[in-house]
């Protein structure tokens, strides 16, 4: 092993490890690991890991992990994970996960997840999920979900859902749903639903519904309904209904209805 330390630092290493520490730092390494720490940082790793930390950061990794962090960040990784963090960020990952975080972001991932976040964003994912977030966004995903968010957006997804949001939008989906939203829109979907929203639109769908909205429109549907609206229109549908509306129109349908409206 090879250990290089600045003043006031503490290093503990097993066989085949290489540690380099600035002053006031603490490094503890398993076998065949590499740790590089700035001043005031704390690093703890299992075997076959590589940790690089800026000053004031904390890194904890199990075997086979790679962690890189800026100053003041905190990283905790399971086995075979890869974490990269800007300053002031917090990253927690299960095994075989991949996390990239901008400064001031918070990321928590289950096993085999991929999280990428801009600054000031918050991401929470269960096993097998893929999240990409712009700055100031919030993403929460169940297992095997995919979330892509612009800045300032909020996404909440259940099992096996796909959500794509522009900036300032809000998306909430249950299992097996697919949501695409423009900026400033709000989408809420039940299980097995598909929602596509233009900017500034509002969509609320129950089980197995399909909603497509232009900008500034409002759609509300019960289960097994299909709604298509132009901009500025309002559509409300009961069970198993089909509504098609041009811009500026208003449609209200009960059970098993079919409505087609031009503009106004």
Q: What is the pLDDT of residues 246-259, one digit of tens each?
A: 989 999 999 999 99
Q: What are residue 222's phi and psi, to 5 degrees? A: -85, -175
Write out pLDDT tens, residues 89-115: 999 999 999 999 889 999 999 999 999
pLDDT score of 31 = 95
Residue 6 clears pLDDT 90, i.e. is over it: no
CA 80 and chain centroid, separation: 20
Q: Give residue for tokens 């996404």.
A: 155
Write out pLDDT tens, residues 175-217: 999 999 999 999 999 999 999 999 999 999 999 999 999 999 9
DSSP 219: E
Residue 1 clears pLDDT 90, i.e. is over it: no
Do 84 and 74 form a contact (C-beta atoms < 8 A)?
Answer: no
pLDDT score of 264 = 75
Do 91 and 107 form a contact (C-beta atoms < 8 A)?
Answer: yes
Cα separation, 168 vs 185, whole angstroms: 7
pLDDT score of 199 = 92
| Segment 8-14 mean pLDDT | 94
Is 12 within a domain?
Answer: yes
Do 227 and 250 form a contact (C-beta atoms < 8 A)?
Answer: no
Cα separation, 172 vs 188, whole angstroms: 5
pLDDT score of 83 = 96
Is 56 within a domain?
Answer: yes
Q: What is the dihedral of CA 82, 86, 88, 91, to 10 degrees?
A: -20
Is 24 within a domain?
Answer: yes
Confidence of residue 123 (pLDDT cuts 50, 70, 90): very high
Residue 69 clears pLDDT 90, i.e. is over it: yes
Is 101 within a domain?
Answer: no
Is 147 within a domain?
Answer: no
Is 218 within a domain?
Answer: no
Domain around 45: 1-72
Q: Under 8 Å CB-to-CB from 82, ≥6 apart: which residues? A: 65, 66, 67, 97, 98, 99
Provide the β-strand partners of residue 187.
Answer: 171, 203
Is 154 within a domain?
Answer: no
Confidence of residue 232 (pLDDT cuts 50, 70, 90): very high
Is 17 within a domain?
Answer: yes
Two structure tokens written together for 232? 């500025």
**Domains in the chain: how many in total?**
1
Residue 263 clears pLDDT 90, i.e. is over it: no
Cα separation, 21 vs 11, whole angstroms: 8
């Amino acid at each position: 092993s090879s250990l290089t330390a600045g003043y006031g630092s503490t290093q503990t290493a097993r066989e085949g490890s290489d540690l380099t520490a600035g002053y006031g730092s603490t490094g503890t390494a398993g076998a065949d690991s590499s740790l590089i720490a700035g001043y005031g940082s704390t690093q703890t790793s299992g075997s076959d890991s590589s940790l690089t930390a800026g000053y004031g950061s904390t890194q904890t990794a199990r075997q086979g992990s790679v962690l890189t962090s800026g100053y003041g960040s905190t990283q905790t990784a399971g086995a075979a994970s890869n974490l990269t963090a800007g300053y002031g960020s917090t990253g927690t990952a299960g095994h075989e996960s991949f996390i990239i975080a901008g400064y001031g972001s918070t990321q928590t991932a289950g096993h085999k997840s991929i999280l990428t976040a801009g600054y000031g964003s918050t991401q929470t994912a269960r096993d097998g999920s893929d999240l990409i977030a712009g700055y100031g966004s919030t993403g929460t995903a169940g297992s095997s979900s995919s979330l892509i968010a612009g800045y300032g957006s909020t996404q909440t997804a259940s099992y096996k859902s796909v959500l794509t949001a522009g900036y300032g939008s809000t998306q909430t989906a249950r299992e097996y749903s697919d949501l695409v939203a423009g900026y400033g829109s709000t989408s809420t979907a039940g299980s097995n639903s598909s929602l596509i929203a233009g900017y500034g639109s509002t969509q609320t769908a129950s089980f197995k519904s399909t909603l497509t909205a232009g900008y500034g429109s409002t759609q509300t549907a019960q289960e097994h309904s299909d709604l298509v609206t132009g901009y500025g229109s309002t559509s409300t549908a009961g069970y198993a209904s089909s509504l098609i509306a041009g811009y500026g129109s208003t449609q209200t349908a009960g059970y098993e209805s079919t409505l087609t409206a031009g503009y106004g």
